[in-house]
Homo-oligomer: A and B are copies of this chain.
C-alpha cells in the first residue's frame, strides 16, 4: 500500500492544468495572481498635500523665525479635487486641504495648526523646508514599475492599491470546479423520510462544504445508486469539472462499484488502498484525462481522505504558496495504546501549554465510524505505520485545521 505522502504525490502529478481567468478585483479577492502587474500610471498622480494647511514656496519662508515671522498673502483655496488653474505666484500662499494638488510654483505645505491667519495674510514662524507635507508624484507607485508579481495573493490592501492605479481586472488562478458524486443505495437526501436501513446523504453536503472552505467550487453530480452503469453515467456528466471526487463504493465488497464503474469506462487506476486509518479504501484514477479521487464512504474517513489528498491538490490549483494543511509538532497528552500496520491520523485538539509548547489532546473518540468527535478536533495527530503503543509525552507531527491557532513556522513567500 502507498504511504499517504506517496499517494499525494501521485495525485499532484496527475493534476489538471491550472486555469487562469481575468476577473474583477471584487471577484479576485483571496485568489492568487497569475501575472505580474505593471503600473500604467503613478500614485499619487500629482504632488499631493498630506495635510490641511498652506501651500507655499520654501524659499519665501527662509528668513522666518518665531520672533520675525513672514506674512504671505493668501491667493486661493485648493480643496481636494479642485486644483488651482495657475501657478502659485512667488510670495503668496494658497490654502490647501489634505489630498489637494500642490500647485505649480509651490514646493511645501505648512500645517494649519502652525500658522496664524491675519488680515494681511498668513503669518509663518519658521522656515518650511522644500518637500514638507508634499507627497511627490509617484511617491507610492511609479508608472512602469511592477507593483505585484505572479503568486501574490489579492487581499484588501491589494484591492485598494490596484483600484488607485486604475487596474480593475487581473489574471488569477481560477478556483477549480470539483464534481462530487455520492454513491450508495442506503442514501436518502436531507428532508426525505428515513426508511429501514437508510441513512441521509451527509457526505454530499459535507464534501461541498470542504470544497468551499478551500475556496473552490463544488459541483453536485448527484447521488448514484450502487449500480455500475448509473455511476458510470453520473461520472460521464462531469464535463465542466476540473476533477471529480466520489464517496463510497471503494471497499472490497461485491457492491463497491465505483472502481468497477471506472474500469468499465476505461479509466486508468492510479492507486487503491493506502496506508491510512481512517480512510484506507481510497482510490484515484484517470478517466478520459480527468482525475477522479474515490473517497471512503465513511464520513470521518472521507474528511480525512479529503484533507490529506484532495486539499493539497486544490491549494496547488489555486496557486497557493502553501499546499495542504499546516504542519508542526507537539507533545502528546495521553498515551496511545494501540499499534497499527498503517499510518494513523488521530483526531486531536492542539493547544499551547503553560510554557507555550504545543500540546496534543487525543482523548476524543477515534473509531472510524464516529464523526461527532471530529467536531471537537482542530488537528490531526500523525502516528506512523507500525509505531505504538506510545507513552504520554512523546512528540508527534500534527496537521492543523485552518482555524487552529497555534505556532507554525512561516517562510517568506510571494503570498
**Chain B: CB-nearest residue to A164:** B202
User: Is the Cβ of B206 less than 8 Å from the Cβ of A349?
Assistant: no
For A191, give its contact among B81, B139, B168 (CB under 8 Å): B168
Number of copies: 2
CB distance from A192 to the nearest CB of B (A): 10
A: contact size bracket: 35 or more
Contacts of A14 in B (CB 8 A): none
> Is A166 interfacial (CB-CB < 8 Å)?
yes
> Is A46 interfacial (CB-CB < 8 Å)?
yes
* Given A303-B156, A410-B351, residue A197 in contact with residue B372 (CB < 8 A): no
User: Is the Cβ of A159 less than 8 Å from the Cβ of B209?
Assistant: yes
| Assembled-state Cα–Cα distance A135/B371 (Å) | 12
For A209, give its contact among B45, B156, B199, B207 (CB under 8 Å): B156
> Is A246 interfacial (CB-CB < 8 Å)?
no
Contacts of A403 in B (CB 8 A): 153, 155, 415
> Is A233 interfacial (CB-CB < 8 Å)?
no
User: Is the Cβ of A199 less than 8 Å from the Cβ of B155?
Assistant: no
For A201, give its contact among B100, B163, B322 (CB under 8 Å): B163
**Residues of A347-387 whose CB lies within 8 A of B:** 349-352, 356, 367-372, 374-375, 377-378
User: Is the Cβ of A157 less than 8 Å from the Cβ of B83?
Assistant: no
User: Is the Cβ of A205 less than 8 Å from the Cβ of B160?
Assistant: yes
**Residues of A236-252 whose CB lies within 8 A of B:** 248, 251-252
For A45, give its contact among B78, B194, B254, B352 (CB under 8 Å): B194
**Chain B: CB-nearest residue to A184:** B80
**Chain B: CB-nearest residue to A405:** B410
> Is A290 interfacial (CB-CB < 8 Å)?
no
Most buried by B among A153, A352, A371, A378: A371
For A164, give its contact among B48, B135, B200, B409 (CB under 8 Å): B200
| Assembled-state Cα–Cα distance A403/B199 (Å) | 38
User: Is the Cβ of A297 less than 8 Å from the Cβ of B350?
Assistant: no
User: Is the Cβ of B80 less than 8 Å from the Cβ of A197?
Assistant: yes
Most buried by B among A25, A158, A163: A163
Contact mask for chain A residues 65-83; partner B; CB cutoff 8 A; 1 contact, 0 none: 0000000000001111111
Most buried by B among A25, A253, A367: A253
Contacts of A349 in B (CB 8 A): 412
User: Is the Cβ of A407 less than 8 Å from the Cβ of B404?
Assistant: no
Contacts of A186 in B (CB 8 A): 79-82, 99-100
List 23 contacting pairs A-B, 8 Å CB cutoff, sorted by A: A26-B205, A43-B372, A44-B369, A45-B198, A46-B197, A52-B252, A52-B253, A78-B197, A79-B185, A81-B184, A83-B196, A98-B297, A99-B248, A100-B197, A112-B253, A140-B370, A140-B371, A157-B303, A157-B371, A157-B374, A157-B375, A159-B202, A161-B202
